[in-house]
């Protein structure tokens, strides 16, 4: 009979993130090929894991159509060279797709059904803009189940400003600017690059090149630059391109394992799963979703917010992140939060972003043996939030000097 097991994040890798659209580096690259590259890179970096031992592959996409359809976990697994005996499936929880891939696989590992699994996500927003080919049921609006603006993420972000007037545009602008500065500092220090898989890309002129880093960064951003930007979601609004995650293409992949497999194969996990939770909120203000999901995850873990030493929060919009920080009494510029920048700087390829948060937290854990627990959390379209709490295997109980 299967026994309950601990769950470990062994490793994670991702493609560089590209700008969506015709001018982006992945315009001529298939979505499933991005996921394949991330999967190959992950397995090549972990040669001690026999490919035939992978129990399942879960890959998320928000727009499951075209080259992002056809049961991605299975098709990408085959294309990446996994044995035909390895099954796979696809997941959709919009922005929390990859996060849900991880938690779904974690549940199977914890129950002792799986030993090893691959979990990730991909989004090619250039080929598949958010909401493309979607057909929302007219009852949502006709029966006033949700406001029409709930389907526009920028409108929901503006409503956070309405609800919390003390979350000013200036605070949002400053958070967006610092995200850019922190991301570039992390690049300059060589902290991001080790977990990136280079991707061969074909330009508009037919020439081949190599994608080696995130394309959309704007490290020279100043408060003056942000103050002058247009507010596309509302006249005289407060949400701008400088305080929003850009439309992005990219893929992320992670390797998860149970305690038995870790011991048997001599693996060196980067994180241990502590707890996770998802929660629903009003779709009109979807940005507050990570607040109740984090409260649920903390309760499941028997922890408080003060126990969390590192935060990786998805920056769908700056106001969305600072609404969570404000709720928990954390300063906008707290050094525990998004140390290496976030989605405002590097991009948010919807269903792929959850594992990017985990990759960055895992790398920070390795540098911070004084930190025991970390949180990855994100808001989710249509009014949801997702949170995962992780434990640092390098923790030594000593406070940082």
The two three-digit tokens of residue 365, written as one number: 């854990």
Is 35:60 a contact under the CB 8 Å cutoff? no
**Known catalytic residue: 379?**
yes
pLDDT at 397: 84
* Dist. CA 186–CA 189, nearest whole Å: 5
- State how beta strands 384-391 and 271-280 pair: antiparallel
pTM: 0.97
pLDDT at 231: 96
pLDDT at 131: 81
Is 19:218 a contact under the CB 8 Å cutoff? no
* E strand intervals along 61-134: 88-91, 116-124
pLDDT tens column, 154-188 = 999 999 999 999 999 999 999 999 999 999 999 99
Q: Which position among 95, 166, 236, 327 bears the catalytic label?
A: 95
pLDDT at 401: 59
Domain boundaries, the chain: 7-125+246-390
Is 16:227 a contact under the CB 8 Å cutoff? no
Q: Which position among 128, 236, 327, 379 bears the catalytic label?
A: 379
pLDDT at 141: 82
* Dist. CA 398–CA 217, nearest whole Å: 35
C-alpha neighbours within 13 Å on the C-beta side of residue 274: 25
pLDDT at 191: 98
pLDDT tens column, 273-288 = 999 999 999 999 999 9
Q: Which position among 166, 181, 327, 348 bears the catalytic label?
A: 348
Angle at CA of residue 37, ends 128 and 65, nearest 5°: 25
- State how beta strands 308-313 and 18-19 pair: unpaired
**Known catalytic residue: 348?**
yes
219 C-beta neighbours (distance < 10 Å), count: 14
Is 394:380 a contact under the CB 8 Å cutoff? no
CATH of domain 7-125+246-390: 3.40.47.10
Is 313:338 a contact under the CB 8 Å cutoff? yes
Residues of the chain with pLDDT under 70: 401
């Amino acid at each position: 009979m299967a026994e309950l097991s601990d769950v470990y994040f062994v490793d994670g890798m991702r493609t560089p993130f590209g700008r969506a659209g015709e001018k982006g580096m992945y315009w001529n690259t298939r979505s499933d090929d991005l996921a394949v590259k991330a999967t190959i890179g992950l397995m090549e970096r972990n040669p001690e894991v026999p490919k035939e031992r992978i129990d399942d592959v879960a890959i998320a996409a928000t727009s499951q159509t075209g080259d992002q359809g056809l049961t991605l976990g299975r098709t990408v697994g085959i294309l990446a060279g996994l044995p035909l005996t390895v099954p796979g499936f696809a997941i959709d929880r919009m922005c929390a797709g990859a996060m849900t891939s991880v938690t779904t696989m974690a549940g199977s590992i914890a129950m002792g059904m799986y030993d090893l699994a691959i979990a990730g996500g991909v989004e090619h927003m250039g080929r598949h803009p958010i909401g493309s080919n979607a057909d929302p049921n007219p009852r949502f609006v006709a029966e006033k189940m949700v406001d029409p603006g709930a389907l526009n993420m920028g409108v929901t972000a503006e409503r956070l400003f309405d609800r919390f007037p003390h979350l000013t545009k200036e605070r949002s602008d400053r958070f967006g600017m610092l995200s850019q500065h922190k991301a570039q500092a992390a690049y300059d220090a060589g902290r991001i690059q080790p977990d990136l898989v280079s991707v061969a890309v074909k330009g508009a002129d037919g020439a081949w090149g190599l994608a080696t880093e995130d394309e959309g960064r704007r490290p020279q951003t100043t408060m003056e630059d942000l103050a002058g930007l247009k507010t596309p979601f509302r006249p005289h609004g407060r949400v701008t391109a400088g305080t929003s995650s850009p439309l992005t293409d990219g893929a992320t992949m992670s390797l998860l394992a149970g305690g038995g497999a870790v011991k048997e194969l001599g693996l060196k996990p980067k994180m241990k799963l502590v707890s996770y939770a998802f929660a629903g909120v009003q779709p009109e203000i979807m940005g507050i979703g990570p607040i109740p999901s984090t409260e649920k995850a903390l309760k499941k873990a028997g922890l408080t917010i003060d126990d969390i030493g590192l935060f990786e929060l998805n920056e769908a919009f700056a106001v969305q992140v600072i609404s969570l920080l404000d709720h928990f009494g954390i300063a906008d510029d707290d050094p525990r939060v998004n140390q290496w920048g976030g989605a405002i700087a590097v991009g948010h390829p919807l269903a792929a972003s959850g594992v990017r948060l985990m990759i960055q937290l895992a790398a920070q854990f390795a540098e911070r043996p004084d930190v025991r627990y970390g949180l990855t959390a994100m808001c989710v379209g249509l009014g949801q939030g997702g949170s995962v709490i992780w434990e640092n295997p390098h923790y030594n109980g000593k406070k940082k000097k």
